[in-house]
Structure 1
């Protein structure tokens, strides 16, 4: 009888020990007070907390000493930092290796986390459904300001995608200008997200007159000539960051869930008609 009791006690101790070591990591979400003025922050945080219900929040400034003491007090095992200022501050501390970055553009050689750049393969897969008559998709962007990560892919033969980059803002504008002379109505062009307003106006006018399809990753371009804007689903971005908490080492991912917005007036001008099902898939429709 005593032997049986000892076995039960040992099993109980083993179970308790395993439960202790297998406990969920303490996740801390760090963001700036100024960041909350952007609605995207609230959505991303809500997504993170859906996956990590016990996550703590730290609202702070980029004061390194203050932030370090807050992280120490929170006993942070894993940190999700939102915004470049906060990420850069934490990366100067001992918490660097525990930090996942979000709500900023970066590549896998710079930080761990989910970069805001959209994956061209996912993007064009969706656009091929939304715009089946388009044969070529062109991406025009500035080097070191890529809002679309370009990875060569094996798309169906009837659809191709090409990247055109400029070394700086002025060169990118030149690249875009030359491309607008080349493309036809069966093509679609992603214009640079950081295109100056005065240039955007001129580009939109040319596209309107030539009945060319303009696309963008800048939602504000939707009101300035773009037919469709592609942008991240902020809540899904938060969920994606939340799941990466369980990844043991450095990791980089692109946005996996993309939303699309449509300018009805531009669609009408281009004589484009969408089925009710396709039209419903647009998260936002204007005009």
Structure 2
């Protein structure tokens, strides 16, 4: 009897160890993922909710969330991450990204929905990927042949390099004016506006720049209007003020892209460390488009998610 009990116990232990080994190597098990996002209200909360919905829809992720304030205790966040048994961290938004950089654990961190410099962390930027933006631009304004922008290598050099790489596919040339500080940036915008030619040139305003948009936008829109230049931005509010077109994220789909990007990095796939948002919405100012000689019919207008001036 004693021998039989010993044999049964041995078999039970062997079975449990085997099950644990299988679980540890089960590549189909969901990746325990903690998403860090800012506490928000109103329209901002709606945007974050859409992003989280997109992330949570990924079949390979098991998602928990931590909402943080501007004065969040890092130790408390780390305890929550530990309690979640997290294997992956996704930081959404600039505040979450800054906090995630201060974490002391060795869990993979992915950033998403940030507008600034990614500092080495794999990132899906708020800035739109140039490919869908160029495709839409050439559809409505095929006569545009060059895009000019003032950029900073550290902040948005990755976007400039990506745009340069694919520009020929859209019969475009990207002309960059590299700036290291605001003073140089303002001078370069003045030079850009002198160099740009009506009909064939467009001016691109990066999402983040050494020259804040509130500093340069009034001058830029005034000069562009007088010279009949198309101004393209990553901010719909610029289009409302007189810019030609804006490209901006479709937030739920951006969340899905972020989830897939994080999953591929978690698996060690060889992919880029920073990419732009691929699923974009588009805004247009019809008064500006008409002024620069682009008139759209009803079908073409229906392609846009926001139209300014507001249609009654």
Fold similarity call, TM over 0.5: yes
Name the TM-score class by shorter chain.
Answer: 0.7 to 0.9
Distance, in Å, in 2 between the alignment partners of 1:30 and 1:275 is 43
SS of residue paired to 2:144: coil
Q: TM-score, normalised by structure 1?
A: 0.83
Aligned to 2:287: 265
Query: 1:91 & 1:199 partners in 2: Cα distance?
Result: 31
- Per-residue deviation, 1:59: 1.4
Of 252, 273, 276, 1:235 maps to 252
Q: Deviations over 1:59-117 (max 9, x none)?
A: 12331111011111111121211123322323333445422111213566520231223
C-alpha offsets along residues 150-169 of structure 1, whole Å, 9 cap, x if unaligned?
A: 12225148422222222112
CA distance in 2, matches of 1:59, 1:17: 34
Partner of 1:172: 185
Change beyond 3 A, Cα 1:174–1:27: same
Q: 2:68 aligned with 1:60, yes or no? A: yes
8 A Cα contact 2:150 2:176, kept in partner? yes
3-state secondary structure, aligned to 1:124: helix
- The match for 1:153 is 165
CA contact (8 A) 1:142 1:165 kept: yes
**How far off is 1:16 after superposition?**
9.1
Residues 36, 94 of structure 1: alpha-carbon distance in 2 compared, 3 angstrom cutoff: farther
**1:255 is aligned to 2:305:** no
Where structure 2 has 5 or more consecutive residues not aligned to the other structure, the ranges are: 1-13
Once the two structures are superposed, residues 160-203 of structure 1 have per-residue CA deviations (whole angstroms, 9 ceiling, x without a partner) of 22222221122112111111112121211113545443542222
Selected match of 2:227 from 210, 229, 235 = 210
Q: Which secondary structure state, in structure 2, belongs to the residue aligned with residue 281 of structure 1?
A: coil
Q: CA–CA distance in 1 between the matches of 2:122 and 2:42? A: 22
SS of residue matched to 2:304? coil
- Matching residue of 1:29: 35
1:134, distance to aligned residue in structure 2 (A): 0.7
Choose 105-114 or 73-82, whichever is displaced more: 105-114
3-state SS of 2:115 partner: coil
Taking a change above 3 Å as real, the CA distance of residues 18 and 273 of structure 1, as seen in their structure-2 partners, is: farther
Shift in alpha-carbon separation, 1:269–1:275, aligned structure 2, 3 A: same
**Per-residue deviation, 1:281:** 1.8
Go from structure 1 to structure 2 and tell me whether the alpha carbon gap of 1:172 and 1:29 turns closer, same or farther (over 3 Å shift): same
Aligned to 1:187: 201
State the SS of the aligned residue for 1:235. Answer: helix
Q: From 92, 95, 100, give the equivalent of 1:90.
A: 100
Task: Name which of structure 1's ranges 91-100 and 66-75 shifts more when overlaid on structure 2.
Answer: 91-100
Counterpart CA distance in 2 for 1:143 and 1:168 is 11
2:296 maps to which of 274, 283, 286: 274
The corresponding residue for 1:75 is: 85
TM-score (norm 2): 0.77
Counting matched residue pairs gives: 277
When the two chains are superposed, the root-mean-square deviation of aligned CA atoms in Å is 3.0
Unaligned runs of 5+ in 1: 1-9
C-alpha distance in 2 between matches for 1:160 and 1:275: 27
Partner of 2:145: 135
Q: Does 1:47 align with 2:54?
A: yes
- SS for the counterpart of 2:110 is strand
